[in-house]
Amino acid sequence: MLLGGFLPMVDATIVNVGMNSFAGHFEVALTTIEWVTTGYLLAVSVSAPVAGWAVDRFGGKAVWLLALGLFLGGSALCASAWSPGALIGFRVLQGFGGGMLEPVMMTVLGREAGQRRAGKLVGLLALVLNLGPVLGPVVGGLLLQYLGWQWLFLVNLPLGLAAFVLALPLVPAGHPEADRRPVDIAGIALLCPGFAAVEYGLAQAAGGGFGATPVVAGLVLGVLLLGGYAAHALRAANPLIDIRLFASRGFAASVVVIFLAGGALFGALFLIPLYYQQVRQHGLVETGLLLAPLGLGTLLSMPVAAKLSEKAGANRLVPLGGVLVVACIGVYTQAGTTTNEAWLAACLFVFGIGFGLVGAPTVASIFRSVPPKSVSSATGSLFVVNQIGASLTVAVVALVVQHGKATGSETAVSGTFGAAFWWMCGLAAVGAVCGLGLPGRPAAPETAAEAPETARQP
């Protein structure tokens, strides 16, 4: 499952590298080819909220194989696309599968691990999932340089087929008969299009500003639909995602931190490559290699942080990690055209360590804060909130950079990136403060045996 869950993470960053190549091959404007990303994102927005319910209804193995099959089929079709419309349509199909892979993986593995092994599970997830954003730009640049844009999609097939074959004997089927939740038709009709409308509005805001008509329409419609879903979920016996979980202080604090952490990470993954390409004039492959310290720091710290959270508590580790992230982003606020790149790389490494101290304990707290039967709702909430945080941050920093670049001077462009990084500093600082509200040390094993569905609060 880790192998399959890795694919959408690396696919997103690989495909983003190829946007200019798609536009050149099909001879269309970037505004048209941007729907390769937007269409995928909207499909993810529709399928991801349904994933947890589908696992409860049909079993983890069946839903996992379906999602993986859709993702692989979409990848193969994208590589054979004959027009921009076909490519966008096949990306939507790919997004329906990719949107379910991560929530299904976290739901199935979270239930198998249980609350007492949540830290170990998060450490294992981190070793695989954090490779995607780091490897994607490097792999994408190499594929474009030596093989062609079709291989941005074909590269998914060998790993995906291996994951599919391994899943047949190894992924637990689950027991769908034990929880035959009825289909929440009203919840699907409100949550899925509401999430998609918000994501659409934020995606359009990155280019046209928050005052543009499509942005306002998307965000207003999305907020109305999500508000309607919240009112529905509070009354429904079996909502698609149970928002009553937010009554738990530990769960609510964890989700807020995930919202802010998702924004900080994806904002950095959007902003730092742009800085290296537009201010320092590096190519795609060089930029990907310069991002490697971030991934390395995260890979090293997340498994350690997951174990430490069982002893020290998330409410101690997350603020510490947030402070490290703020300090490192603060260095980038002052970075210009001549700043020492070894120093910047060292800061990225520490940034990765800080993010590991934030991400692993927070996700582990979510698994410890809910009973096993609510894991599917918890992972659905986690995914939706993380995506919205990421999209909102990228939209804001993209507007800051775009506004500053309009002046045209090199000094102004460098200063514009500094302003955007200050926004990121503020976001990370708020996350560090919110981390103080996370749960403390989890219950000792003997206590957990007596009350397996609770975690010790600070």
The residue among 410 and 76 whose pLDDT is bigger is: 76
174 domain residue, yes or no:
no
What's phi and psi for 149, nearest 5 deg? -65, -30
178 domain residue, yes or no:
no
pLDDT of residue 287 exceeding 70: yes
pLDDT of residue 69 exceeding 80: yes
In whole angstroms, give the CA distance from residue 361 to residue 358.
Answer: 6
CA atoms within 13 A on the CB side of 355: 29
444 domain residue, yes or no:
no
Mean of the per-residue pLDDT values of the chain: 77
397 and 344 in a common domain:
yes
pLDDT of residue 11 exceeding 90: no
155 and 21 in a common domain:
yes
Whole-angstrom CA distances from 302 to 107, 170, 259, 308 are 19, 25, 18, 10
DSSP assignment string, 22-83: HHHHHT--HHHHTHHHHHHHHHHHHHHHHHHHHHHHH-HHHHHHHHHHHHHHHHHHHHT--S
245 and 230 in a common domain:
no
274 and 294 in a common domain:
yes
Q: What is the pLDDT of residues 293-345, one digit of tens each?
A: 887 888 788 778 877 777 777 788 888 988 999 898 888 888 877 888 889 88
210 and 338 in a common domain:
no
The domain that contains 104 carries what CATH number? 1.20.1250.20
Q: What is the pLDDT of residues 181-217, one digit of tens each?
A: 667 778 778 877 887 788 788 777 766 677 788 888 8
Q: What percentage of residues in the chain have a pLDDT greater than 70?
A: 79
Domain extent at residue 112: 1-169
Q: What is the pLDDT of residues 345-391, one digit of tens each?
A: 899 899 988 888 887 788 777 777 777 676 666 777 777 777 777 77
pLDDT of residue 457 exceeding 60: no
177 domain residue, yes or no:
no
382 and 268 in a common domain:
yes
147 domain residue, yes or no:
yes
According to the model, what pLDDT value does residue 200 have?
80
9 and 92 in a common domain:
yes
253 and 221 in a common domain:
no
Read off the pLDDT of each residue in 27-52 and give the average, rounded to a whole number: 74
According to the model, what pLDDT value does residue 117 have?
61
In whole angstroms, give the CA distance from residue 157 to residue 180.
Answer: 34
End-to-end Cα, the chain, rounded Å = 34
149 and 246 in a common domain:
no
